[in-house]
Amino acid sequence: MELKQPRQKTEAEALAALADRCAKAEVCIADARRLLFRWAIAPQARERIIEKLISDRFIDEERYAQAFVRDKLSFSRWGNRKIAQTLADKHIPHDIISRALEQVDPEQQQEKLETDLRRKLKSIEEKKTYKKKEKLLRFGLSRGFTPDQLIPTINHLVEGEEEEWQSGSLL
């Protein structure tokens, strides 16, 4: 089976297509470059297109980072570490990442973390406390939370579950 190659676009077609995409959703420079490369646009033309989109404010790294942080907090429920690393992988400057992460409400993020950990704890079938804690820690770290955020929350949840078991309220 042959893979379908994307149709090559002219510089004008690529500019129009990318502007249309940028009008519908935030796009960073790295994603724009990747698309232009896939469309087989020459390197000089790629840079001209990106410069035009930046000057027309279709592409704005600051706006992109803020939207990315909002989306990943709300929908994917990621922690700051994973968000920052993903933005860095997209070549977003560190100062822009820092400003975008300032919008994070630590209390709200902690509530979401606790909700997610509580849900995960219910799905863990391990009987040993340390195994439960280990699985919760791995889960939280994979979501981009720090051990400083995770360990007290995990201890609180697991110890609370044990107390409920001992009091008979989970029977």
Q: What is the largest CA-CA distance in the chain?
A: 71
At 108 the pLDDT is: 92
* Type of residue numbered 170: L
Does residue 28 surpass a pLDDT of 50?
yes
Q: Which residue has the higher pLDDT, 143 or 159?
A: 143
Q: Which fold has domain 61-101?
A: Arc Repressor Mutant, subunit A (1.10.10)
Closest to 64 (Cα-Cα) out of 21, 125, 120: 21
Does residue 163 surpass a pLDDT of 80?
no
Across the chain, mean pLDDT equals 90
Residue 170's pLDDT band (cuts 50, 70, 90): very low
Q: Which residue has the higher pLDDT, 23 or 167?
A: 23
- Give me the long-range contacts of 14-23 (CB less than 8 A, separation at least 24): 14/39, 14/41, 14/45, 14/49, 15/49, 15/52, 15/53, 18/49, 18/53, 18/58, 19/53, 19/56, 19/58, 22/53, 22/58, 22/59, 23/58
Reported pTM: 0.84
Identify whether the C-beta of residue 160 lies closer than 8 Å to the C-beta of residue 151. no
Q: How does pLDDT run across 46-87, given as a tens digit for each residue?
A: 999 999 999 999 999 999 999 999 999 999 999 999 999 999
